[in-house]
Structures are given as C-alpha cells and as structure tokens.
C-alpha cells in the first residue's frame, strides 16, 4: 500500500509546497502582528490555503483528458475577466487589477498565468490539428496566446505581471520542440536591447556574439543578415526610445535598475529590505523579534516583501531552507515534465516551473537588491488569495501530471 | 524530440537561479552582517522636506511687493505616529481630537515616511513645547515654512492673488505627484498664473534616527539629499505708486481700473474694488473670514477688472467707426445726418441731441447715437462682430492671471442660438451700435481696446509680468507675449483718434477733464443697468500724439461716464506721467476721508 501511494502521489513536490505555504503563513502572521488594519490577512491566507489544498486534491484526480479539453474554455473565461476588470475593477495605487465578486477579491491576472500555460500546452500538444511549431502560422498562434493577456494586463497597468507571460514563451516553445536556432533568433533582439541599455560596450559585444552564433548555426546567408540587422536595430532603438521619454519616466527606469538612486520611492523599500535581511545574520532575531519587520519599516511587507521577515527573524538558516524548498519544488517539476508521457501535462509542468523560477528570481533578487524593482510576489508565500489559489492550481496540475505520467495521450 | 538533452537546460537554469539567490544570502547575512545590524539599529530614516522660498514680486521700479517670512507648522509622520496616543498629543498641543482625526483621514494613502502638515502658522510656544517633549510626541514634529508677507501700502488683492492649501481635488488630479497634503498652491492672480515658476522645487533631507527618535546622522552622508530650489521672482510691469493711487481713487466704490502701456501691453495698474486683505491668506486662513469673503454681497473676491461683463456703452462706438472705414462703407469725409432720434420699425431710438450731418470725428466728439444706429445697420451684424473680435472682444485677452472673462460679443450664430433663426430682428442690432444690449465686456478688454486705438492697430497681449528673475543668478528672462497687427489701414485710426481728442479737448462729452499738462484723448460711456443706476465707463490715453498710457475706468452704479469715471482716469494718467500726487484729489473724487 505504501509503495502504491508513492507510486501515484509525489510527496516531494507536495511537502515542499506545503512547507513554503507554512513559512508564508508564519511570515504573514509576524508581518501583520499588531497591525489592526491587516490583522485579518493571516486568517484569510490560512482559509485560502485549506480550500486550496482541497482543490489540489480534486485537480489531481481529474482525468487529464478533461483538463485538456477545458483548457480553451478556462483561457476564454480568464480573458473575459481581464476585460471585465478594466471596467469593473477597483483602482488601487494606479492599477485596476482586481474586483470583488460576492465579497471575494479576485485578481484575474493571477489565474491568467495558469490559463495561458494550459491553453499554450493544449495548442502545442494538439495531435488532431497536427500543430507544428516550426510553421510560422502555428508559431505566431502560440505567441499570440501569450500576448493577448499581456496586452490586457498592460492596460491595468501591471508591468511586472506582463513580464511573466513574456518570459513563458521561450522555455515552453523550446520544450515543445522549437529548433535551437529559432530560439536564438527570438532571444537575440531582446538580449541586445538590454545590453544596449546598459552601455555601448555591452551592445557591441552582444552584436559580436550574435554574429558569431550565426556562423555556428550556419543558416542561409540572407536570413542571418536579416537577423543581425533586426538585432542591431532593436539595440539602437532602445536608446532612441529612451531619449524620447519624459524625464520622470527615465527616472523610473533608472530607479528600477538602481533603486538607491530613488531613496524616496522604489529605493526606500529595497534599502530597508536589504537591511532587514542582512541584520538577520546566521540565526535571525527570533520570531516576532525583528525590528525591521515589527517596526513596520517596509510598507505592505506581507505581499511582495514577505521574505524580509524570514530573513530577519529566522536568519540565514531559515532563508536557505526556503531557497532549498523552492529549488526542490522547481527541480521536481522539471523532472515530472521529463518523465510524463502526456505531452499536454508535460508542457504544463515546464510552464509552471518557468513561472515559479521567474517569480523566485525576480522577487528574491529584488528584495536583496540584485534585480530590478519589479513588483511580483513570492510563490506560495506572499499574501494574496488569488495568487495563492493560482499557485495551488498549478501544484494540483503538477501532481496530476505525476499521477498520470505513464499514460500516453 | 530529444527531451533528455533539453531538460538539462532547465535544470541548469533553475540551479543557477537558486545558486545566485543563495549566494546573495550568504553575502548579506553571513559575510557582513554587522554592517546591516548597525543599520537596522539606527535605521529609522526621517525625511525632512525643505520648502523652497516662493518667488518674490517686484514692481517695475524694483520695489519689493511680495516677500516671505518664516512661519512654523506642526507636522505628523504617519509611520511614527501612534494613534492610541492621540488624546495625550491633542491635549498637549491644545487641539481638538476631532480636528486631528480629520487631518489624518485626509492623508490616508500617502507616503507614510514623509511628514505632513496638520497645523499651519502656529505660535512659537507650541514649537518649543514640541522640542521639549519629543519622547511623548512621537511622530509629531514641526517644519519651518515661508509664508507671504506684503510690505506694501496698497492691496493689489486681485492681481497678486493668494496661495491656499491645495484642495483634495487638485491633489488627485495633479500629474507628477509634486504636491502633498498641506502644501500651498497659488490659487488666484499671479500666484496662480505663475505657480510653476514661483513655487521652486522642494528639497529632501534624509536623516537616520535611532529607535528612540534621536537623530544619528545623515543617510548615506547626505548624498541622497535633494536641495530645495527657490522659485523665480517676478518683476511686474505694475507701478506700485500708480497702483496705490488708483486704489485710493476707487476707494468706497465698486468698479475696476486697468491701465496699459500701449507700446507693449504691460499693465501699469489693475484695480478691482471692493477688495480684501491678502494677509488673511498668509498663514492659516480662518474659516470665518473665508466664509464672510465668500458670502459678502459685494463679492470682494471677484475681479471686477477682468471678470465683469457689462455693456460698454458709447465707448464701443469706435469699433463701428473703424469697421465702416475699413469696409469702405464710409469715406473719411462722409457724413451721416443725425436728427435727434431714429425710427426703426415701430420703435423710436432716442439721442441726446440733433447734430445735423456730421463726420466720424464729430460723431465721436458728441457721442451721437443716431449716427451709430444708422451706421451699424449699414455695416451689418457679421462685419460688426468681425471687427469686435479683432479688438479681442468676445475672447480672452490672454492676460497672465487665470481670472478672466471672455465677455459676450453677439453674432448672427449667437442670436440664432438664443432666439432661433427667426426670433430676432435687426432692431437688436441697432442697440449694439451704441454698445448696449447683449454686448458684455470687461475693463481689461476695454483697456486693451483703448491701447489698440492709441497705437493705431497693434494688439499686445496684456501682461502683468515683465521678467522672471532667477533668485540665485539675478538673471532676467523676459516673458513672451503675443503681438498682432489688426488688418486695418492706419490712416483710419487717425480719424478715430481725432474724435477721441475732441471728446476731451473740443466740445465733447469729457471736456471737464481737459488739462494743460498733457493732451488726453478719451471716450465716455454709460452702461444701461436694468437692476439700478447705470454703470459709468471712461477710456482714455495720453499723451494724444505719443501715447504712453491707455486706461479704462469702470465704476458701477455711478451714472454718466464723464462725471465719475473720467476724472479718475485723468488723475491716473497725470500720476503715471508726472508723478503728481495730490491727496486732495483722492478725497475729492472718492468722496472719502480716512
């Protein structure tokens, strides 16, 4: 019986996710401790987690075929919600990103992450329509699936979240069989643009690197030349666009990469969060003993800056456990994607692994001052009902993939 | 698909991400934790906003008109403020708890780290009290803010204008988040017109505090501090002496005066009476005073120099004269018979005399009504409107304060809209010929019109400010203003000018203000007032052959233009040109003794 259970249920993924949620709850409890305004957040998150785990089990036992068939429906529903939120949503800090239905706050952009991966996976694994990602038509359709929510979320506007969808494209397409050189052609302009922003020498070296790669791939000369031209143009346009921006817009970009240049705005939080984590030391200051956390130096710490509390109160020991849990979770998800014979579920897993990795990198990187200030939350830990539920739906699907890993579809 | 190879990419990426994060954790928490520990200990960063000095005002002769003086404001920093301590704090500061609650509500959703003013212009005792009781008053502090000081002996209420605490509405509407709750913003007059130049840029100092609120030192050695930049000073075209004199002349009356330099559109003085004391708005404005200013039936806040809309009466006749000449309806020496009354349809329009067949200059000199009844019908409404618009009637003149009316310049479209295409007759147009009826103008528009007549056809956008002065370098930046030439033959202005000369120096309606010192040209006018006594108009410029000042005086409920408005205009002209300052003049005209 024991063996049988392990056979169909991946405890490693489940336990690491559960541990992360528990860490998150502890952190939220500490971060909202003694703050009347948000004292309900802990309970809300706890209730969501319990409901979410029921959903996880339900999803795990749902037949994969049924999930695949309802992918487009789910995607369509989410797109409608993204449109609706623009009209019915509440404006908070300049973003119209959520609305309430019957007393529950719903943030459609979080569910859009799951829905987009599902739709993308369904399209790429669709045997009946004979999808071939090397065909331009199918390629653009796949990219379009990602770009539609991007366009709608940009209207909110929530730039951090749109990045998640853009980042999805390459890893998912690569997993679905996109040839190496096409991957490279897509990535090249983006790499060059970032390098061009960083400086002339970065730009020049990026161009040299891309030209060198052209020789490695040995494609048709005309195509190679076009790719190089597009690459250079994208690099040059960055500075042109930048110089046309209003000074305050430029300042916002600068402060994204160099938070400390704006100690009043974005930089303030980062300066504070670095101090919080740094002052935690090896073992931390103890639960509810963190001065940074308890004296509320970091605004709304229970959302994007939740990791500060772990860093400060539990120190390196606690923090490294969290990082390891994320590592195990992501590593296992990739492993499940590899061993799962059902291509639809396999692609889903890769999509979710990408989403988790990106969130962890950007969120923790930002808090520790090595990534630009882009406001996206930490999976399973940050406070937010929609965000937690969407993470748990992903978990359910990963467990489903493991359970049905041996079924070919 | 060979996923066994591809999966390694994903493993490598996820490993790299976790490795980078773990590495950074080691760097922050293990290698150099002491540094952050100390930072955390003394971490609380206090932000001090330094309010820049608002730009000063100088008159055309360099006399200081508007100055700043320091005042103290009590501030609250939400991050540090403990709401449970509210009763103690309120009793210590001697303020109402309800008041503090309301003030705190206003700043909800703003930056918690920046102190916000809750009381302005407090007594110095309160400040020393805060200094002594810092431990008890956590989150409460004070700031030194410059407030306005008016070292002049005139009012200039409407032209200088006042600053007020920014309203909730404007706070939400602002573009780049510069203003915070409790900030002052120019609300009327030049304070509003030049707000972006006057205000300067706020500065920020970041000071580290320990957990007991004691200052430890500047954050990052002050490298992050932003210095406040003082606002630009304004050098006005106003002549303080003339302004004061004109205000006295109008004391006790209701009306407006605008005097303009016809060679460049600079406003020499601008008076609106009744007015109010700008000192009310410096520091904290008591709600009682604000209410009484708002409910006063005399409307002291209303700028009568730029916002009234009365018919100009006979002062408007020159528009018809110019239009008829330029359109070729009258030749310079044409005459029109003036019988003493004019019948149009079944209505009889009266005149104050029969003048026989007269030319344009004579018609102006005697202010014949019949002449202009007939003339306006020949010109037609459309042409009449077109010329009115050239003189900037029916439009804003573009003066550099926000309070300005367009007035009302009736046109065919206007009448069609109001009465329907068949609901009005040419009889409506007859009244317009003598500046009555729906036509509505402000003293400012009339002064601009006078200066165009005086300089033979050049419109200068009227302006109160000559230069913006950089307070640090003293560098002067001239203010741009529009200049347009009217498409009218200069020679025709000569005829009108001759008529206006005769009004004062011939046998005209304002011969009472003739003076040997300078030849004045002018025109009287009386605005029919259905609600009471007529309003009195006088426009004039001088010297007649080389105009240096164009002035418009409008006095409400003062009857015929020549009796009240004309002497005031004459005194202002003499004062500006020769500096004559006879206090008895003031008393004689205003009928007031102080």
In the structure, what pLDDT confidence band is assigned to residue B232 with cuts at 50, 70 and 90?
very high
User: Domain span at residue B132?
Assistant: 46-87+100-231
Average pLDDT, chain A: 86
Q: Cβ of A263 and B7 within 8 Å?
A: no
Q: Cβ of A334 and B219 within 8 Å?
A: no
Q: Does B12 touch chain A (CB under 8 A)?
A: no
Residue B262 has what pLDDT? 96
Q: Give how far A364 is from chain B: nearest CA, Å.
A: 7
Using only C-alpha atoms, chain A has a radius of gyration, in whole angstroms, of 22
Q: Are B499 and B482 in contact (CB under 8 A)?
A: no
Both B224 and B187 in a single domain? yes
Tell me which of A38 and B191 has the higher pLDDT.
B191
Helices B317-326 + B443-454 axis angle, to 10: 40
Residue A13 has what pLDDT? 95
Q: Cβ of B176 and A264 within 8 Å?
A: no
Q: What is the pLDDT of residues A145-178, one digit of tens each?
A: 999 999 999 888 888 899 999 999 999 999 998 8
pLDDT, average across residues B545-573:
90
pLDDT, average across residues B172-186:
81
Both B209 and B302 in a single domain? no
Q: Considering only CB atoms, which chain B residues are within 8 Å of A274?
A: 28, 36
Q: Is 50 exceeded by the pLDDT of residue A116?
A: yes
Structure tokens that stand for B102 in this block:
């309301």
* Among candidates B1, B10, B40 on the partner chain, residue whose Cβ is nearest the Cβ of A334: B10
Task: Determine the Cα–Cα distance for residues A322 and A24; give it in Å rounded to an integer.
Answer: 10
- For residue B594, what are the CA distances in angstroms to A404, B445, B585, B586, B590? 101, 32, 13, 11, 11
Q: Is 70 exceeded by the pLDDT of residue A300?
A: yes
Q: Is 80 exceeded by the pLDDT of residue B588?
A: no
Average pLDDT, chain B: 86
Q: What is the pLDDT of residues B56-77, one digit of tens each?
A: 999 999 999 999 988 888 888 7
A interface test, pick of B35, B40, B108 with most A CB neighbours within 10 Å:
B40
Both B216 and B255 in a single domain? no
Q: What is the dihedral of CA A150, A151, A155, A161, to 10 degrees?
A: 10
Q: State the ipTM, two decimals.
A: 0.90
Q: Cβ of A278 and B206 within 8 Å?
A: no
* Among candidates B13, B45, B176 on the partner chain, residue whose Cβ is nearest the Cβ of A248: B176
Q: Does A381 touch chain B (CB under 8 A)?
A: no
Residue A297 has what pLDDT? 60
Q: Looking at chain B, which residue has its C-alpha nearest residue A350?
A: B10
Structure tokens that stand for B274 in this block:
């009744």
Q: Cβ of B9 and A327 within 8 Å?
A: no
Residues in A 294-333 with any Cβ partner in B closer than 8 A: 295-297, 299, 311-312, 315-316, 319-320, 323-324, 326-327, 330-331
Residues in B 206-245 with any Cβ partner in A closer than 8 A: 206, 211, 219-220, 224
- Of B231, B250, B280, the domain-final residue: B231
Tell me which of B165 and B549 has the higher pLDDT.
B549
Q: Is 90 exceeded by the pLDDT of residue A261?
A: no
- Alpha-carbon torsion (A86, A89, A91, A96), positive or negative: negative
- Alpha-carbon torsion (A311, A316, A321, A327), positive or negative: positive
Both B459 and B440 in a single domain? yes
- Alpha-carbon torsion (A39, A42, A45, A46), positive or negative: negative
Residues in B 143-182 with any Cβ partner in A closer than 8 A: 176
Both B439 and B391 in a single domain? yes
Which of A60-74, B27-41, B270-284 is least confident? B27-41
Q: Looking at chain B, which residue has its C-alpha nearest residue A174?
A: B6
Q: Cβ of B3 and A364 within 8 Å?
A: no
Both B202 and B250 in a single domain? no
Which of A99-113, A314-328, B77-91, B432-446 is least confident? B77-91
Residue B154 has what pLDDT? 87
Task: Determine the Cα–Cα distance for residues B469 and B233; give it in Å rounded to an integer.
Answer: 5
* Among candidates A296, A320, A330 on the partner chain, residue whose Cβ is nearest the Cβ of B79: A296
* Among candidates A292, A324, A370 on the partner chain, residue whose Cβ is nearest the Cβ of B24: A370
- Of B168, B196, B231, the domain-final residue: B231
Tell me which of B56 and B79 has the higher pLDDT.
B56
Classified as helix, coil or strand, B76 is strand
- For residue A232, what are the CA distances in angstroms to A185, A191, A200, A225, A393? 12, 11, 12, 11, 41
Would you say residue B555 lies in a domain? Answer: yes
Percent pLDDT > 70 in chain B is 91
Both B216 and B365 in a single domain? no
- For residue B458, what are the CA distances in angstroms to B312, B324, B461, B467, B529? 21, 19, 10, 22, 32
Both B207 and B252 in a single domain? no
Q: Considering only CB atoms, which chain B residues are within 8 Å of A177?
A: 1
Tell me which of A93 and B122 has the higher pLDDT.
B122
Q: What is the CATH number of the domain that holds B186?
A: 3.90.1310.10
Q: Are A175 and A337 in contact (CB under 8 A)?
A: yes
- Alpha-carbon torsion (B370, B372, B373, B377), positive or negative: positive
In the structure, what pLDDT confidence band is assigned to residue A2 with cuts at 50, 70 and 90?
low
Structure tokens that stand for B351 in this block:
């005149």
Q: Are B376 and B384 in contact (CB under 8 A)?
A: yes
Q: Is 60 exceeded by the pLDDT of residue B505?
A: yes
Q: Is 60 exceeded by the pLDDT of residue B554?
A: yes
Tell me which of B95 and A277 has the higher pLDDT.
A277
Residues in B 272-311 with any Cβ partner in A closer than 8 A: none
- For residue A359, what are the CA distances in angstroms to A113, A365, B25, B66? 12, 9, 17, 56
In the structure, what pLDDT confidence band is assigned to residue B594 with cuts at 50, 70 and 90?
very low
Would you say residue B28 lies in a domain? Answer: no
* Residue B473 neighbours by CB distance under 10 Å: 7
Residue A263 has what pLDDT? 62
Task: Determine the Cα–Cα distance for residues B293 and B300; give it in Å rounded to an integer.
Answer: 7
Residue B213 has what pLDDT? 55
Q: Looking at the 3D structure of chain B, how many domains does it have?
A: 2
Q: Considering only CB atoms, which chain B residues are within 8 Å of A279?
A: 33, 36-37, 39-41
- Of B182, B214, B231, the domain-final residue: B231
**What is the DSSP code (8-state) at residue B260?**
E
Residue B593 has what pLDDT? 35
Structure tokens that stand for B588 in this block:
């004689």
Q: What is the pLDDT of residues B427-480, one digit of tens each?
A: 888 989 899 988 999 999 999 999 999 999 999 999 999 999 998 888 999 999
Percent pLDDT > 70 in chain A is 90
Which of B274-283, B448-457, B486-495 is least confident? B274-283
Which of A364-373, B58-67, B319-328, B440-449 is least confident? A364-373
Q: Cβ of B25 and A175 within 8 Å?
A: no
Both B183 and B207 in a single domain? yes
Both B222 and B263 in a single domain? no
Residues in B 69-108 with any Cβ partner in A closer than 8 A: 79
Would you say residue B41 lies in a domain? Answer: no
Q: Cβ of B219 and A263 within 8 Å?
A: yes
């Amino acid at each position: 019986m024991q063996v049988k259970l392990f056979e169909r249920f991946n405890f490693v993924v489940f336990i690491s996710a559960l541990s992360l949620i528990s860490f998150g709850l502890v952190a939220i409890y500490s971060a909202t401790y003694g703050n009347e305004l948000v004292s309900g957040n802990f309970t809300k998150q706890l209730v969501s987690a319990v409901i979410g785990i029921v959903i996880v089990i339900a999803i795990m036992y749902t037949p994969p075929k049924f999930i695949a068939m309802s992918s487009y429906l789910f995607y369509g529903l989410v797109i409608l919600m993204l449109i609706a939120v623009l009209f019915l949503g509440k404006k908070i800090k300049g973003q119209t990103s959520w609305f309430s239905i019957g007393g529950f706050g719903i943030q459609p952009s979080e569910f859009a992450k799951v829905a987009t991966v599902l739709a993308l996976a369904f399209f790429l694994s669709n045997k009946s329509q004979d999808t071939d990602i090397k065909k331009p038509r199918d390629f653009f359709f796949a990219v379009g699936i990602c770009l539609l929510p991007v366009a709608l979320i940009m209207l909110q506007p929530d730039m951090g979240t749109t990045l998640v969808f853009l980042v999805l494209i390459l890893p998912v397409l690569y997993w679905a069989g996109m040839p190496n050189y096409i991957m490279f052609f897509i990535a090249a302009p983006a790499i060059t643009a970032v390098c061009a922003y960083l400086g002339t020498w970065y730009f020049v070296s990026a161009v040299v690197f891309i030209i060198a790669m052209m020789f490695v791939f040995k494609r048709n000369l005309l195509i190679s030349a076009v790719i190089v031209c597009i690459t250079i143009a994208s690099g040059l346009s960055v500075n042109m666009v930048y110089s046309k921006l209003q000074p305050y817009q430029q300042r916002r970009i600068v402060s994204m990469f160099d938070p400390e240049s704006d100690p009043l705005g974005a930089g303030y939080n980062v300066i504070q969060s670095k101090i919080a984590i740094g002052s935690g030391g090896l073992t931390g200051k103890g639960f509810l003993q963190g001065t940074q956390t308890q004296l509320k130096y970091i605004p709304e710490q229970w959302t994007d800056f939740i990791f500060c509390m772990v860093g400060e109160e539990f120190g390196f020991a606690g923090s490294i456990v969290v990082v390891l849990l994320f590592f195990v979770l992501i590593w296992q998800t990739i492993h499940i994607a590899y061993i799962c014979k059902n291509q639809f579920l396999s692609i889903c897993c890769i999509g979710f692994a990408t989403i988790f990795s990106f969130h962890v990198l950007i969120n923790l990187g930002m808090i520790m001052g090595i990534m630009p200030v882009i406001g996206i939350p930490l999976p399973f830990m940050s406070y937010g009902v929609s965000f937690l539920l969407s993470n748990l739906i992903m978990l359910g699907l990963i467990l489903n993939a493991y359970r049905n890993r041996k079924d070919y579809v | 698909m060979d996923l066994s190879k591809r999966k390694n990419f994903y493993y490598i990426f996820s490993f790299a991400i976790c490795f980078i994060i773990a590495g950074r954790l080691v760097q922050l928490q293990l290698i150099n934790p002491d540094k952050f520990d100390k930072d955390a200990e003394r971490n609380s960063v206090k932000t001090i906003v330094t309010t820049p000095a608002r730009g000063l005002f100088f008159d055309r002769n360099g006399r200081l008109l508007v100055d700043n003086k320091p005042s103290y404001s009590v501030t609250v920093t939400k991050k540090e403020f403990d709401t449970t301590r509210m009763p103690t704090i309120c009793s210590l500061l001697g303020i109402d708890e309800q008041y503090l609650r309301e003030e705190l509500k206003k700043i909800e959703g703003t930056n918690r780290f920046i102190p916000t003013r809750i009381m302005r212009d407090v007594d110095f005792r309160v400040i020393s009290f805060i200094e002594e009781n810092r431990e008890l008053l956590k989150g409460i502090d004070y700031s030194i803010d410059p407030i306005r000081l008016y070292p002049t002996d005139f009012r200039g209420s409407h032209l200088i204008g006042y600053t007020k605490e920014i309203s909730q509405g404007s706070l939400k509407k602002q573009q780049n988040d510069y203003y915070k709750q409790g900030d002052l913003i120019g609300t009327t007059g030049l304070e509003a017109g030049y707000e972006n130049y006057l205000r300067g840029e706020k500065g920020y100092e970041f000071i580290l505090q320990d957990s007991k609120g004691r200052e430890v030192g500047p954050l990052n050695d002050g490298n992050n501090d932003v210095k406040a930049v003082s606002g630009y000073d304004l050098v006005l075209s106003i002549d303080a002496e003339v302004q004061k004199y004109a205000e006295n002349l109008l004391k006790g009356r209701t009306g407006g005066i605008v005097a303009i330099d016809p060679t460049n559109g600079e406003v020499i003085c601008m008076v609106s009476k009744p007015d109010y004391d700008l000192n009310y708005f410096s520091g904290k404005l008591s709600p009682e005073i604000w209410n009484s200013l708002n409910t006063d039936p005399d409307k002291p806040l209303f700028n009568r120099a730029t916002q009234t809309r009365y018919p100009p009466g006979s002062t408007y006749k020159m528009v018809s004269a110019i239009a008829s000449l330029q359109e070729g309806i009258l030749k310079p020496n044409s005459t029109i018979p003036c019988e003493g009354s004019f019948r149009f349809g079944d209505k009889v329009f009266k005149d104050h005399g029969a003048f026989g067949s007269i030319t344009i200059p004579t018609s102006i000199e005697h202010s014949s009504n019949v002449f202009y009844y007939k003339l306006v019908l020949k010109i037609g409404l459309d042409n009449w409107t077109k010329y009115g618009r050239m003189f900037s009637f029916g439009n804003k003149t573009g003066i550099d304060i926000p309070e300005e009316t367009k007035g009302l310049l009736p046109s065919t479209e206007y009448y069609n809209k109001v009465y329907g295409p068949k609901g009005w007759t040419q009889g409506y147009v007859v009244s317009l010929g003598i500046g009555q009826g729906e036509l509505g103008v402000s003293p400012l528009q009339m002064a601009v019109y006078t200066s165009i007549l005086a300089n033979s056809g050049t419109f200068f956008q009227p302006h109160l400010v000559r230069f913006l002065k950089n307070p640090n370098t003293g560098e002067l930046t001239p203010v741009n203003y529009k200049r347009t030439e009217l498409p009218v033959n200069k020679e025709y202005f000569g005829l009108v000018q001759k008529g206006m000369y005769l009004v004062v120096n011939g046998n005209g309606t304002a011969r009472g203000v003739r003076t040997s010192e300078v030849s004045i040209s002018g025109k009287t006018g009386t605005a029919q007032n259905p609600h009471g006594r007529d309003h009195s108009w006088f426009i004039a410029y001088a010297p007649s052959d080389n105009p240096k000042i164009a002035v418009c005086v409008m006095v409400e409920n003062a009857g015929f233009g020549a009796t009240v408005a004309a002497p005031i205009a004459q005194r202002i002209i003499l004062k500006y040109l020769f500096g004559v300052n006879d206090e008895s003049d003031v008393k004689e005209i205003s009928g007031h003794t102080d």
